[in-house]
Amino acid sequence: MQGASWGAVLIGAYLFFTLFYPFGLIIALIGAFFGASIGLFMVIFFEMANLKLEIYKEKQKHTELLEKMVSLLEKRDEKLSDN
């Protein structure tokens, strides 16, 4: 989805630039910025979603490692005598 968002940025900027170019270069650049802003918002949104997904996966790996460590410690404690 990030690739499609970047495509929306380019298409929006190009369309708004060509639409407002007859009114002047400065107006066309401002129009291109506003045309690209929707796509840029989508890029940021999908990038944040991707980061949250990576954090979630990393937390799952850490949880699995901690569970293994706890089980190994419990096995070690079972082998030790109370004396």
The pLDDT of residue 16 is 93
The pLDDT of residue 2 is 80
Instruction: Give the three-state DSSP class for 22.
Output: helix
Residue 46 neighbours by CB distance under 10 Å = 16
Mark out the alpha helices in the chain (DSSP H runs).
2-20, 25-79
The pLDDT of residue 74 is 82
Average pLDDT along the chain, 83 residues, taken 10 residues at a time: 88 94 94 92 94 97 94 76 58
The pLDDT of residue 22 is 93
pTM exceeding the 0.75 threshold for the entire prediction = no
The pLDDT of residue 72 is 87
